[in-house]
Structure 1
């Protein structure tokens, strides 16, 4: 599926939904946290997670290669905006 490997632009969440992290920007490419102490986590599950991690890395490499110019442009724009907000 070609569409799912596209760059997803970060979105700013409304104030009540923001996490306690220092940045209000959330992305859709974050992997969920996994509780390895959970009783459902077993050796087979661990191997499954490794395979999924390798798939995530492969997808990330593909996205970075395909959309590197767009990613750099967005990051640079955000840096300029943040610098302007910090030092008006």
Structure 2
């Protein structure tokens, strides 16, 4: 078996990634550990979360929220909390 075939079979033997996070109080399942802001919002919208793709996304890190740009790749963890609001929302 070649090294390429071994690596491919190793990847197929692993269970799919399922990371449960919260986006605007809705439970969302992500299937990758590293995603950009647009991918997180798209997954949330596809799963019925209350937001729009054009909203600004932030992730809770400690006691603060960090803005996640659409093209910014972050590592997501089980039970991460995200908030997505309209970019012009001053609340």
**TM-score normalised by the shorter chain: which range applies?**
under 0.3
The TM-score with structure 2 as length reference comes to 0.25
The structure that is helix-richer by fraction is 1
Larger radius of gyration between Structure 1 and Structure 2: 1
The structure that is strand-richer by fraction is 2
The TM-score with structure 1 as length reference comes to 0.26
